[in-house]
Structure 1
Amino acid sequence: MNSSDQNFTQAKIKRRIQEAEASIAQYLKDLEAADLRSPTGSTPHQVRLAERIELFKAQMAQLQAIEEKVQAAPDKQISMSDPDARSMQHRGGGIVGYNVQAAVDTKNHLIVAHELTNVGHDRSSLAAIANQVKEALQVTQLTVVADKGYYSGEQIKDCMDLGVTPIIPKCKTSSNRSSGLFDKNAFIYHPDKNEYECPAGQVLIERFKTVEHGKNLIAYWSSNCKTCALKPQCTTGTNRRVKRWEHEVMLD
């Protein structure tokens, strides 16, 4: 684990620069007041204030140089003590280090694959480590079990394309439930008709295709939302729209 003081993100370097600027401004005010009290000469207090101002100006120059490096970094983050280490969340707070991925054979309870990443989450790691397990065990089909931190539609598709069946709890990230509205789970998809059924029993048909965050999505909605008695529990807009990923059948 590396020192968090030597790790810089955009937010952190911005905060450090603001703190340095505030310190310089305060010392300049103090020096101005000291000069008014002793206009004829440099007292030890005035000398110390001037030294502190120069110290913070030097620190400001260093921080600005670091800021340029942060902006140039692909992930807008650098670590001075270990260039490859990254800031990531951990139980009890954040750390600067690495994310260890390991897969255990449930039959023999042995680690059969592992890798070290500097990505601060697990969402993009499942397919790669699962493929390592397949190669290590020399099998063509594999079932893997992972916690919800690994849940990603793209990773699930990549696993299934590799012949890996992932078993992962689905993350519930919709803000509708916390707002007192129906979330997507309340809508039933009928694959034979390519349509959704809402809690009021209305049919949501395909309207258009779109691309969001690199994913091909299909949008569905009903024309009867305006007169629906359940509309206050469903949407604050004109129509409740449900979007479906083109590969969502794998998630279902």
Structure 2
Amino acid sequence: MAKFKNTDPNQLRMHVLDFQELFGEGHPIHGFKKVIDRIDFEAFERNYQNDETGRPAISPKKVVSALFYSILIGNLSMRELCRLSKLRAELIYLLDGEELDHTFISKFRKIHKKEMQNLFSQTVFLGYESGFINFETISIDGTKIKANANPGDIGDLEKFETRLKQIEKVSKKKFKEWEQSADLEYSKIQKKRKELERKTDKLKEAVDFLKKHEDRRRIHLYERNCDLQKRRKGFIVGYNAQAAVDCKSKMIISQCVETGQSDTQFAEKMIQKVEFCYSSLKSKDDDFKKIQYVLDAGYSSEANFRNLKEFDLYCPDRNITRLFQAGKIPKVPKSPKRKPKSIRFTYEKKSNQFICPTGRILKFRTEKFLHGKDSYSNFRSISCSGCHLKRFCSKGRSKSIFVISRNLKKNYIHSSPPKSYQPDEVDNFYTMEMRKKLSEPRSRIIYSKRFSSIEGVFGAIKGSQGGDLFLTKGIEKVSLEWSEKCSAHNIAKLCGFRYV
């Protein structure tokens, strides 16, 4: 019969942690610590006033390093971080054996909120200083992330007014039942009463809020800033997290959290943030270069193309995006909105009429002597409604042409220059200009960088790092949480972090 060692699993053991031997040379913790050592924590130290008296505090550098490392290994919960700080060797190493408490971390993030957000700017600076970021091509996109909110508690004014009437009616009935019941204790009755009163107050606040803010169609009962966000084939209650990524390094250059569903309204804001970041980082001796901005069809609109015409933008509109993503060069149609080189009218001698390029008939009206001895025949269109060349073909409301009468002895083609116009007067002019730009083979090469850069970043944050849900509530706290995720991602790129 085989024999095995008989050990007691409940026996106390003592283990000596030799971190150099435990991690080895190739462990990502070494590169991570080097990047953390390059970050300036002087701003954090200004918030402390215990230099002479009081208990010594845990160094902010240790807390931040543990927080970012926890994010990179896929843990976003502060309670779980406190548990791992006693078990995981990397966190014990970063904290020098200090144990964290979730209330301490909560207070730390609250006190150092501004400093925590500024850490993101430092990671961008380190990326630019190290040569990782070159600001040549920037990809901008948004991703929808769930809020820490119940989907059933979001609604419009009508829904909340109905719920308020129902709960007020039910509350009176329930209060009487609880008071007459002998089974319920007084403390439990008070607890249930407070819960109903809390729901009633929240519903009243929501109704008043929607009446005052007509621009908001709906709100969440307990989380004012979140909204319905379209994701895949359905909707979630969440936020629209925006990011601008450098295509070379895959590092995030700028970021923010928005409530709105559509990305269209954030294109100009994100580009301005990137431009400000580049101008503040580049040396005065360096020449100012034009950044290539790559955006998906969610940002496309005639207004955006017009307002951002000074920037090197690559953004297909929704009508051609699938064709463009399939690797095909979108053809620029003979657009009704583009200015033609000339308008050619064909004369038919037999019927004494002109045919315009769109097939409409111009009938003979009168003959006049306008310039010296030559007589001019006036031909006028019967109907120009719906014609895409209407604004170009002739001046004035009459939509008529004057032709020298002696040219009408045979079939004749009359060519007239198009009427002058302003681009802003033409519908979809800048959209057609963007299509023309994207039809160039060089544009395909530039736009091909988009998916691997921005989508890869979102995949890492929401996938391996488990960042598909915001754990905090309120736009300020959510913005801080997103900033922490982006900072952790940039640190991972700087140190070549891989999950172990």
Q: TM-score, normalised by structure 1?
A: 0.53
Residue matched to 1:182: none
Higher relative contact order (CA 8 A, sep 6+): 2
What is the root-mean-square deviation in Å for CA atoms of aligned residues?
A: 4.4
1:168 aligns with 2:312: no
- Look up the SS of the partner of 1:160 in the other structure: coil
Residue matched to 1:249: 429
Assess, with a 3 A threshold, how the Cα gap between structure 1 residues 24 and 116 changes in structure 2: closer, same or farther: closer
The 5 Å alignment of 1:45-56 reads: none
2:230 partner amino acid: Q
Once residues 157 and 137 of structure 1 are traced to their aligned partners in structure 2, the CA distance between those partners, rounded to angstroms, is 23
Residue matched to 1:147: 296
Once residues 3 and 194 of structure 1 are traced to their aligned partners in structure 2, the CA distance between those partners, rounded to angstroms, is 60
The 5 Å alignment of 1:154-233 reads: 154-161=303-310, 164-172=311-319, 187-192=335-340, 200=358, 204-206=389-391
Larger Rg: 2
Once residues 249 and 64 of structure 1 are traced to their aligned partners in structure 2, the CA distance between those partners, rounded to angstroms, is 48
- Look up the SS of the partner of 1:119 in the other structure: coil
Once residues 163 and 153 of structure 2 are traced to their aligned partners in structure 1, the CA distance between those partners, rounded to angstroms, is 17
- Kindly state the Cα deviation for residue 151 of structure 1 after the two structures are TM-superposed: 0.9
Retained in 1: the 8 A contact 2:161–2:207?
Answer: no
Once residues 95 and 86 of structure 1 are traced to their aligned partners in structure 2, the CA distance between those partners, rounded to angstroms, is 8
1:95 aligns with 2:236: yes
Assess, with a 3 A threshold, how the Cα gap between structure 1 residues 144 and 201 changes in structure 2: closer, same or farther: farther
The superposition leaves residues 145-192 of structure 1 with CA deviations (integer Å, 9 ceiling, x where unpaired) of: 11111111111222224xx1221221239xxxxxxxxxxx67534425
Q: 2:211 aligns with which of 34, 52, 71?
A: 71
Once residues 336 and 239 of structure 2 are traced to their aligned partners in structure 1, the CA distance between those partners, rounded to angstroms, is 41
Gaps of at least 5 residues in structure 1 are 28-43, 49-55, 174-184, 208-221, 224-243
Gaps of at least 5 residues in structure 2 are 1-146, 171-176, 182-195, 280-287, 321-332, 344-355, 361-386, 393-398, 401-422, 433-500
1:3 aligns with 2:149: yes
Retained in 2: the 8 A contact 1:6–1:80?
Answer: no
Once residues 163 and 290 of structure 2 are traced to their aligned partners in structure 1, the CA distance between those partners, rounded to angstroms, is 56
Assess, with a 3 A threshold, how the Cα gap between structure 1 residues 167 and 6 changes in structure 2: closer, same or farther: same
- Look up the SS of the partner of 2:293 in the other structure: strand
Assess, with a 3 A threshold, how the Cα gap between structure 1 residues 133 and 18 changes in structure 2: closer, same or farther: same
- Kindly state the Cα deviation for residue 2 of structure 1 after the two structures are TM-superposed: 2.8
Residue matched to 2:260: 119
Higher share in helix: 2
Higher share in strand: 1
The superposition leaves residues 37-63 of structure 1 with CA deviations (integer Å, 9 ceiling, x where unpaired) of: xxxxxxx9xx99xxxxxxx9x978864
- Kindly state the Cα deviation for residue 100 of structure 1 after the two structures are TM-superposed: 0.9
Give the number of aligned pairs.
177
Identity of aligned residues (%): 18
The superposition leaves residues 124-151 of structure 1 with CA deviations (integer Å, 9 ceiling, x where unpaired) of: 1112112222232334522211111111
Assess, with a 3 A threshold, how the Cα gap between structure 1 residues 201 and 83 changes in structure 2: closer, same or farther: same
Assess, with a 3 A threshold, how the Cα gap between structure 1 residues 128 and 60 changes in structure 2: closer, same or farther: closer
Assess, with a 3 A threshold, how the Cα gap between structure 1 residues 92 and 188 changes in structure 2: closer, same or farther: closer
Q: TM-score, normalised by structure 2?
A: 0.29
- Look up the SS of the partner of 1:206 in the other structure: helix
